[in-house]
Chain A
Amino acid sequence: MIHKLGRISIVITLATLLLVFLVLLNLVLGSIHIPLSEIKAILFTGEEVNRIYENIILKTRLPQTIVSLGAGMALGVAGLLMQTLFRNPLAGPSVLGISSGSSLGVAFVMLFTGNILGFTFTSLGAWGDFAVVFSSLIGAALVLALILFISHRIGGTLSVLIIGVMIGYLSSSLVSLLKFYSPEEDVYNYVIWGLGSFSRLASERAMMFGLITVIPSILATFLSKSLNLLALGDRYASNLGLNIKRARFLIIAFSGFLTAIVTSFCGPIIFIGVAVPHLAKLLSKTSNHFYLILNAALLGAATALLCNLLARMPGMEQEMPINSVTAFIGAPVVIWVIWKRRKENRLE
């Protein structure tokens, strides 16, 4: 126990340090280099500093950093919950169909309303942003409610998984139908939304977003005992005193909530939710979900911050879409994990 706890605490400490380091890098690096002393002055001491620096930090980099951190943490934890619940290494936050629900909601508002009412969505301005988040939340909430209802009434983990995937197919087919009949400009905007971004929220909203992602992610540790038991299979879990239906309901609700929030404010972010849990398991080498959740939260936040940093590398004209970066980071991680397991001869 001692040597294992040792490994876990080392991993968690290192992950925390990495996270802090990446937060600082996210503030310092960018098209304009801002020295640490200036950042310290802006954030903590309140001394008189360069106005431009202050604007960049407070209006752009800090909100982006907070959003990346929160989104990455939420997706890492949500993905871990799904992988354990479905006992499937390829499961992630998207398997419940919640991000598809979000996408459909957004597509409906962006593409359909304009079509019917006879104006392009972009002409709406600020009201448009609000409508996007709102419709996305509605779409995600409806799918989550449906999934929870199914898990409660029908039971069976596999049926939830299949229905989640089917919802994904259905909504993408509806979305392509909407795209087909929409003006080019709206379709372009929808595609941009689908590429994901951590920079859509201004400072106060970013703080709010940070709170409603980080706090539930940490609270997910309360599910760790249920998750540990569920990993043994439904029957063993129930024989060890777990109320399977209730546990499953809570896990889906938690994971669904986190995914819904992130997707609504950042768009469907891919790969972080699938890759990070693997990384957490591989590094901490424990089956105890208390540590796995903490680890997935820290590593998820770190990964998202790294992706955000890469997306706006200094010297580039424009920011890259976040999803193309997450895929480049995430896919190799998944391949590496599979490769490593194959070598250790345990394809679990």
Chain B
Amino acid sequence: MAEKEILHINKLCIGYGKGKRAKVVHDQLQAKMFAGELVCLLGENGTGKSTLIRTICGFQPALGGEATLLGKDLLKLSEKELSKMASVVLTDRVIVPNATVEELVGLGRSPYTGTFGILNDEDKEIVHTSIEKCGILHKKKERLSNLSDGEKQKAFIAKALAQDTQIIILDEPTAFLDMPARVEIMQLLRQIASNSGKSVLMSTHDLDLALQMADKLWLLSADKGLLTGTPEDLLLRNEFQTIFQNKGIEFDNKTGLFRVGYDYNHEIPVKGHGFEYVLLRRAFARNGIKTIRKAEEDTTWLEVCKNGSTSFKYFQNGECVGQEETIENLLTLTLNNRG
């Protein structure tokens, strides 16, 4: 696949201030982005995600290095030129009295309109389809203040679409949203990247969603700088562990997802499999008990029984000493027996 290079960051140095008092946040950042890609920028708070995003958007100057957007030096573009190449969705709280979804998305056409910002028929058509693509056509005439957080975010994404740029940059678009809304926004961005060939760069804290939906991940960490690659390659190279080490996050290579790291004080053998087993394991892990596979020589173990209805049995010295219907009761039984 001949991929079209959209964004190229080369030895970029980001930070604040200038001259001697400059505070460098990151130096020697290296990354590339291609057409139609959804890229998620991950990193802990305070590692400079927002600084990187702001530098790429042209909101703050780079301290050194290069960044090219569609072959043009991003750091030297005027607002006018940049406005037709990159559109943004920010975390800034925007309060525009009286503004409707349609008016907001219409402002996305500003780089193309004249002195008074009047929309022509083509602009109106683009505004309409942008709103439609984001699935909020029924809210077209609604005031922004009457929208839910998820719908508001979609309205801003529609604004970015109307701006008709090759790249859309979003700063934590899923923050403050509930789980279904997060998934919806991610799916929307995924569709935009896949269907329209636009590149989407977003910073996020939603590790699980990013792993599943992103084409590439950019991992930003204080000591390792910017690591890039497909989620799977990064997992194979075990890069996540080095970034989140000692932070109570573990990668579960059975599920391919991250989970909370537990402090275990006990172990208990369990016989069984399936969904019930997974849930049992989780409940016990939360209580500091690690479940292991039952070996032949174990005399004390738990068993998941599925004869019509599910039940859990507790074996001690090879004999069944208790049977429970719920995980809660089994947990109580186990903890009591252990003293």
Residues in chain A within 8 A of chain B (CB atoms) = 1, 4, 87, 221-222, 224-225, 228-229, 231-233, 235-236, 238-244, 281, 284-288, 290, 346, 348
Given contacts A238-B79, A239-B86, contact A285 B59 (CB under 8 A): no
Q: Are A231 and B79 in contact (CB under 8 A)?
A: no
Q: Are B83 and A286 in contact (CB under 8 A)?
A: no
What distance in Å separates the Cβ of A220 from its nearest Cβ neighbour in chain B?
12
What distance in Å separates the Cβ of A231 from its nearest Cβ neighbour in chain B?
5
Q: Are B116 and A348 in contact (CB under 8 A)?
A: no
* Contact bitstring B127-153, A, C-beta under 8 A = 1, else 0: 000000000000001010110000000
What distance in Å separates the Cβ of B161 from its nearest Cβ neighbour in chain A?
13
Contacts of B115 in A (CB 8 A): 222, 225
What distance in Å separates the Cβ of B187 from its nearest Cβ neighbour in chain A?
24
Q: Are B94 and A233 in contact (CB under 8 A)?
A: yes
Cβ-neighbour of B83 out of A228, A239, A287 (below 8 A): A239
Q: Are B107 and A228 in contact (CB under 8 A)?
A: yes
Within the assembled complex, what's the spacing in Å between the Cα atoms of A287 and B117? Answer: 13
Q: Are A287 and B96 in contact (CB under 8 A)?
A: yes
Cβ-neighbour of A236 out of B58, B86, B92, B95 (below 8 A): B92
Q: Are B97 and A233 in contact (CB under 8 A)?
A: no
Q: Are A288 and B103 in contact (CB under 8 A)?
A: yes
Within the assembled complex, what's the spacing in Å between the Cα atoms of A281 and B95? Answer: 14
19 CB < 8 A contacts A-B: A224-B116, A225-B113, A225-B116, A228-B117, A232-B96, A235-B57, A235-B59, A236-B88, A239-B58, A239-B83, A239-B88, A240-B110, A241-B80, A242-B110, A243-B79, A243-B80, A244-B79, A287-B103, A348-B96
Given contacts A222-B115, A229-B110, A346-B145, contact A239 B96 (CB under 8 A): no
Q: Are B116 and A229 in contact (CB under 8 A)?
A: no
Given contacts A235-B59, A241-B83, A241-B111, contact A225 B117 (CB under 8 A): yes
Q: Are B145 and A240 in contact (CB under 8 A)?
A: no
Contacts of B99 in A (CB 8 A): 231, 287
Q: Does B183 contact A (CB under 8 A)?
A: no
Given contacts A222-B115, A281-B98, contact A240 B107 (CB under 8 A): yes
Q: Does B82 contact A (CB under 8 A)?
A: yes
Within the assembled complex, what's the spacing in Å between the Cα atoms of A286 and B143? Answer: 10
Q: How many residues of chain B have a CB within 8 Å of chain A?
A: 38
Within the assembled complex, what's the spacing in Å between the Cα atoms of A348 and B99? Answer: 11
Residues in chain B within 8 A of chain A (CB atoms) = 57-59, 78-80, 82-84, 86-88, 90, 92, 94-100, 102-104, 107-108, 110-111, 113, 115-117, 124, 141, 143, 145-146, 163
* Minimum CB distance partner of B117 in chain A: A225
Within the assembled complex, what's the spacing in Å between the Cα atoms of A225 and B83? Answer: 15
Q: Are A1 and B94 in contact (CB under 8 A)?
A: no
Within the assembled complex, what's the spacing in Å between the Cα atoms of A287 and B145? Answer: 12
Cβ-neighbour of B92 out of A228, A235, A240, A287 (below 8 A): A235
Contacts of A231 in B (CB 8 A): 96-97, 99
Within the assembled complex, what's the spacing in Å between the Cα atoms of A107 and B90? Answer: 48
What distance in Å separates the Cβ of B56 from its nearest Cβ neighbour in chain A?
11
Contacts of B94 in A (CB 8 A): 232-233, 236
Within the assembled complex, what's the spacing in Å between the Cα atoms of A224 and B103? Answer: 14
Contacts of B80 in A (CB 8 A): 241, 243
Contacts of B82 in A (CB 8 A): 239, 241
Within the assembled complex, what's the spacing in Å between the Cα atoms of A240 and B78? Answer: 11
* Minimum CB distance partner of B143 in chain A: A346
Within the assembled complex, what's the spacing in Å between the Cα atoms of A224 and B111? Answer: 15
Q: Are A240 and B103 in contact (CB under 8 A)?
A: no
What distance in Å separates the Cβ of A244 from its nearest Cβ neighbour in chain B?
8
Within the assembled complex, what's the spacing in Å between the Cα atoms of A221 and B118? Answer: 12
What distance in Å separates the Cβ of B171 from its nearest Cβ neighbour in chain A?
10
What distance in Å separates the Cβ of B120 from its nearest Cβ neighbour in chain A?
13
Contacts of B104 in A (CB 8 A): 232
Cβ-neighbour of B110 out of A87, A221, A225 (below 8 A): A225
What distance in Å separates the Cβ of B308 from its nearest Cβ neighbour in chain A?
53
Contacts of B78 in A (CB 8 A): 243
Contacts of A1 in B (CB 8 A): 102, 124
* Minimum CB distance partner of A1 in chain B: B102
Q: Chain B CB within 10 Å — which of A4, A231, A240, A244 has the most?
A: A240
What distance in Å separates the Cβ of A154 from its nearest Cβ neighbour in chain B?
15
Contacts of A238 in B (CB 8 A): 58-59, 79
Q: Are A87 and B92 in contact (CB under 8 A)?
A: no
Q: Lowest 3 A-B CB distances belong to which pairs?
A: A241-B83, A287-B99, A225-B117
Q: Chain B CB within 10 Å — which of A228, A233, A236, A244 has the most?
A: A236
